[in-house]
Amino acid sequence: MSSHSAFAAAADALAAGVLGALSGTGGAVQLARYVDDAPDTLAALAAVRVLGADVFSPHLLVEQPFQTQDAAVVAKAFDAFPANDASEETTVARRDHATAVLLARLSGDDTLRTLAPAPTDDAGLAGTAGWSGWCVRMAQLAPLATLGLDGPAHEAARDGVLPLCRGVSRSILRRDFPTAVRLVRWLAWLRHEGAELPLDPGLVAEHALLVGGAGPRSALDLEIARHLLERRPGTDAKAAHT
């Protein structure tokens, strides 16, 4: 198996574990045990980096306790796969920074924010005139659509309700279900914030699942969206700026 295939398989396995913790069909996510038990430690650490902020979903959405040894695993994953230079690839840098922000918050160690500095270039999020390309970027930033985060991407989502809805509809029509469910996460986050939406994210999520099915990563996106939709607006803890 190639390194790329091993990393992809490890990411799917970790996503399935996080999904089980969120849906109640599995036990608590224990990142340290996941890495220790993995046949390929490097691939397991890569999976932690690939899922990024989503590894914290059980702690944010169903309030599972966050273990000190799990914080050490996320930090170790950053050591193995350092964050990109924020000036080179802002989308990846923004995802990395969100992971570092949540790691610092859940661990109580604010110095961990320095694992991934915040990008300073928000130009790619500012305008929605070219809404299809903008939606691609927002889909790539779907892991930020969760509790406990707020920043430029979230402001862009608040200002881009109609483009997000267009993006969901376009993705469904193109049968691009992974992109559709990532954008649905943003709509679910907006609904949780109390925003009025012209599209029902719950119905779209159900349609995407029935028609397109879902691999582990997309199934996790849908489960996170479900949790956001089921929570009353304003029930999350204070968001951290990203």
Same-domain pairing of 88 and 141? no
- 213: pLDDT strictly greater than 90: no
- 241: pLDDT strictly greater than 80: no
- Distance CA(33)–CA(70), nearest Å, equals 9
Q: Model confidence at 67, in pLDDT bands (50, 70, 90)?
A: very high
Same-domain pairing of 67 and 107? yes
Same-domain pairing of 164 and 87? no
Structural domain span for residue 182? 124-242
Average pLDDT in the chain? 90
pLDDT at 87: 55
What single letter denotes the amino acid at residue 182? R
pLDDT at 128: 67
Mean pLDDT of 164-175: 94
Same-domain pairing of 107 and 52? yes
Count structural domains, the chain.
2
Same-domain pairing of 148 and 41? no
Same-domain pairing of 133 and 84? no
Same-domain pairing of 140 and 201? yes
CA angle 192, 227, 155 (to 5 degrees): 35
Same-domain pairing of 160 and 235? yes
12-62 confidence digits (pLDDT tens): 999 999 999 998 888 888 999 999 999 999 999 999 999 999 999 999 999
Nearby residues of 153 by Cβ (< 8 Å), 6 or more positions away: 94, 125, 138, 141, 144, 242
Same-domain pairing of 1 and 94? yes
Residue, of 137 and 122, whose pLDDT is higher:
137
pLDDT at 142: 97
75-130 confidence digits (pLDDT tens): 999 999 998 765 558 899 999 999 999 999 999 999 999 999 988 877 678 766 68
Tell which of 72, 88, 121 closes a domain.
121
CA angle 161, 100, 224 (to 5 degrees): 45
pTM exceeding 0.85? yes
